[in-house]
Amino acid sequence: MATTEQPFVGTPRKVTAHLTQNEKLSFEISSPGKKAYKLPPLDVPEVDPAQLLGKAAREDTGTLPELSEIEIIRHFTRLSTWNYAIDLGMYPLGSCTMKYNPRVNEFVSRLEGIAEAHPYQPESLSQGSLQIVKLLQDCLIEITGMDTITLQPAAGAHGEFTGILLARAWHKSKGNARRNILIPDSAHGTNPATAAVCGYQVVNIKSNSQGGIDVAALEQIVNEDTAALMLTNPSTIGVFENQIHKIADILHAKGALLYMDGANMNALCGKTRPGDFGVDVMHLNLHKTFSTPHGGGGPGSGPVACKKILEPFLPIPVVEEGSDGQLRWNYDRPESVGRVRAFYGNFGMFVRALAYTLANGPDGLRQTTEDAVLNANYIRKKLEDVYDLPYTTPSMHEVVFSDRRQVKNGIKTGDLAKRLIDYGFHPYTTSFPLIVPGALMIEPTESESREELDLFVDAMRQIAREADENPELILSAPHSTRVSRLDETTAARKPVLRWKPQPE
């Protein structure tokens, strides 16, 4: 295995060094008069903008780059090679579910009748789009075990916003919107941020020694001021809340609701259904569980599924089937919380998520979940003797270690992560969840072969050894990238958020 001949770069089996092209900003390679476009000749009379627009006419369009097509292709292709990607290898970011993004999804989302569909074209000429919406809704309702759904929210956090508004509207319909949302200290930052945006007070609740909900304590906390508990299940340490139904009962007894952050549905699809274990309202992340690409940070899609009691409050419009079998949007829903987004949501993501669901079918979704859980447990087994495992509760789709053993050499999770880059992997999620000091949150997903997992395990074990033998190597990592350890403090203290033309 490891030889010590190349102590500086370690012995990554996955990667070797390779040239990367330098590339300036597009503005810096621009020169006046170059063009990458050609407009067809105008087939209508020319106009004089100054005359039509008067003082609203623009004189100077500002500084946009001027380049030819080949330069633009090279510019962005070169930039692209500076990125790591799922297509290059394992991307074990915990909580992010970086699974394979099937290419057929991209293909079908670009079919002319789908990509060119205008949201306001007549419903009679949108039946194909509406069928996609309807079938995806039906599939997601079945997968979650809930009663109804809206696809309108644009991402997970937007789904949380929508779901909490539903809860609020329901409480309000009973006479009192209530004051508090309970949020475990293990929750993702979007949960408390959402509660605040919806006008609720956040009541943080402490996780128990297993990283889960302390049911007895919860019973004391829930009262008539509690609107809902926002619970991630499996939790952010990858553990199924096996008291989930008890939790739901406690909430329901006080008239509160159970909101589930469904970011971790990749551990559950086809094996168990939130609707069956007491959840009232939840969101899904189509850009996690349902394979729509992350695209460097988005777009996503955050459908919200809920129980019948919340149905009257769903955002408008909702899709309905008429007696003639035609699908249509219904806007006439007096109790609706309103719209959360213009039009119907990130439709292009619905197409991809449906393509993924059809490619899997019931057996494929179940196998996917099983493989995701198998992979996480395999990594746990192969690394638990070298990294500290703060919670030994059985893991589902992700495993969370801590840097406790490495910290004694001055090495933190962020340093280990940077070193992992030299071994040809994207780092795991660092420093989240907050209940694990120095967390290494690893989610392999189902998309990794045993060979790739073994390479990852090998890299992590080598890094653990380096942490003992040569900490400096880790503290100065990565050594193989174009840039290393960027100065984030100065970036924040003296923000440079745009390029500026150099004075001549």
The residues binding ligand PLP (CB under 6 A) are: 95, 155-157, 188, 190, 232, 236, 261, 263, 285, 300, 302
Q: How many CA atoms lie within 13 A of 244 on its CB side?
A: 22
Instruction: Pick between residue 217 and residue 491 the one whose CB is nearest to another protein.
Output: 491
Contact 250, 226 (CB under 8 A): no
Contact 471, 405 (CB under 8 A): no
- In angstroms, give the least distance from the CB of 194 to another protein: 4
Taking CB under 8 A as the criterion, which residues in 177-206 touch another protein?
188-190, 192-199, 202
Rounded-to-integer distance, Cα 93 and Cα 297, Å: 13
> Per the structure block, which two tokens stand in for 290?
């349902």
Is there binding between residue 148 and another protein (CB under 8 A)? Answer: no
Q: How far apart are CA 342 and CA 119, in angstroms?
A: 10
| Burial environment of residue 312 by CB neighbours within 10 A (0 to 12, 13 to 18, 19 or more) | middle
Bridge partners, 204 (sequence order): 183
Judged by beta carbon, residue 432 or residue 456, the one nearer another protein is 432
Among candidates 46, 171, 131, 191, which has minimal Cα distance to 358?
A: 131
Which of residues 2 and 434 has its CB atom nearest to another protein in the complex? 434
CB of 220 to another protein, least distance (A): 22
Pick 206 or 408: Cβ nearer another protein: 206
Q: What is the DSSP letter of 229?
A: E
| Stated length of the chain | 504
DSSP state of 40: P
Footprint (CB under 8 A) of another protein, residues 391-410: 393-394, 396
Residues in 306-365 at the binding interface with another protein, rule: CB under 8 A: 315, 337-349, 351, 355, 357-365
Residue 128 touches which of ligand PLP, another protein, none (Cβ within 5-8 Å per kind): another protein
Least Å distance, CB 6 to another protein, is: 20
- Selected from 1, 37, 324, 385, the binder of another protein by CB under 8 A is 37
Shortest approach of another protein to residue 3 CB, angstroms?
A: 25
Among 149, 157, 166, 319, binds another protein (CB under 8 A): 157
Segment 206 to 235, residues that bind another protein, using CB under 8 A: none
Cβ-in-10-Å burial (0-12, 13-18, 19+) of 62 comes to: exposed
Rg of the chain over CA atoms, in angstroms? 26
Q: Which does 8 bind (CB under 5 to 8 A by kind): another protein, ligand PLP, none?
A: none
95 binds, among another protein, ligand PLP, none (CB under 5 to 8 A by kind): ligand PLP
Helix axes 127-144, 347-383, angle to 10 degrees: 30
How many residues form the binding site for another protein (CB under 8 A)?
Answer: 201
Q: Could you count the other beta carbons within 10 Å of the beta carbon of residue 43?
A: 5
Residue number, 1 or 486, with CB nearest to another protein: 486
Q: Pick one of 4, 17, 18, 62: the residue that binds another protein (CB under 8 A).
A: 62
CB 125, min distance to ligand PLP, A: 32
* Residues in contact with another protein, shown as a per-residue x/- string from 429 to 448 under the rule CB under 8 A: ---x-------------xxx
Residue choice 49, 322, 410, 437 for contact with another protein (CB under 8 A): 49
Quickly list H helices, 274-412: 347-383, 404-407
Q: Is 460 in the site for another protein (CB under 8 A)?
A: no
Q: Give the integer Cα–Cα distance in Å for 291 and 99.
A: 6
